[in-house]
């Protein structure tokens, strides 16, 4: 009987074995959806988070772009400031060197003719403003020159225009050149006489600092007429 049951039950054994084998597969099959869900969970979870983070990152990109744009503007602003002070330094150095040379070589000597009587070099001491005007107001002109230097230095922080940087640099260099004379030359501090030496025919005697101031002022008038502001914006009336 047991032998018969064993023989009869033999066909079921593969099924049972298959069932036994299918359980892991079935578990795997049932786990397949779970695995799919598990596969989807990372895709929906971390992937979504990653997508959200990416979206945040994408939404953060304009801010980053703005940051990069601001970072790009700041060096550009510094370059404008560098242009201003470079022009001012060149104008100041040329004026100072020319005055030292004139005092050493031309003062108390006959004028040197460059183009006949039309242009000559003649060393004189000027206690007034540019081109010899207002000799009675030396102290006032000294204070004005110092105020101009302060205003230009403060304006440099908002400077984003190369033409304006050149114009203000010329003004700054010229003002520094004449202010140096008023502070360190005779007869005394704030009353020093400026060294002039460029003498055209039928015109006042002047120096390189005066030339820089006039050129800078003319350029500022031209830029204002064209509607260009120091910050680089252009407006039309």
Q: Which residues are catalytic?
A: 196, 210
Which residues of 145-227 form beta strands (DSSP E)?
194-200
- Partners of residue 112 on adjacent β-strands: 121
The size of the chain, in residues, is 237
- Taking each helix axis from N to C terminus, what angle separates 162-184 and 46-105, rounded to the nearest 10 degrees? 40
- Partners of residue 124 on adjacent β-strands: 196
DSSP, collapsed to helix, strand or coil, labels residue 199 as strand
Using alpha carbons, list the distances in angstroms from residue 78 to 65, 230, 231.
20, 13, 12
């Amino acid at each position: 009987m047991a032998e018969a049951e064993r023989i009869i039950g033999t066909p079921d054994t593969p099924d049972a074995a298959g069932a036994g084998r299918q359980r892991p597969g079935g578990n795997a099959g049932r786990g397949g959806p779970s695995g799919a869900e598990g596969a989807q969970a990372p895709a929906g979870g971390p992937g979504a988070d990653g997508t959200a983070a990416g979206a945040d990152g994408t939404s953060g990109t304009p801010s980053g772009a703005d940051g990069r744009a601001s970072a790009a503007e700041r060096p550009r602003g510094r370059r404008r400031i560098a242009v201003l002070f470079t022009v001012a330094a060149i104008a100041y150095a040329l004026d100072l060197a020319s005055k030292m040379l004139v005092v050493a070589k031309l003062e108390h000597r006959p004028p040197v003719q460059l183009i006949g009587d039309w242009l000559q070099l003649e060393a004189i001491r000027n206690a007034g403003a540019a081109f010899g005007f207002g000799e009675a107001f030396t102290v006032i002109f000294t204070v004005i020159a110092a105020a101009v230097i302060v205003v230009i230095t403060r304006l440099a922080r908002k400077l984003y225009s190369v033409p304006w940087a050149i114009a203000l640099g010329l003004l700054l260099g010229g003002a520094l050149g004449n202010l140096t004379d008023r502070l360190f030359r005779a007869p005394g501090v704030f009353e020093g006489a400026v060294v002039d030496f460029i003498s055209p025919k039928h015109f006042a005697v002047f120096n390189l600092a005066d030339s820089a101031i006039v050129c800078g002022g003319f350029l500022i008038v031209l830029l204002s007429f064209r509607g260009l502001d120091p910050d680089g914006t252009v407006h039309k009336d």
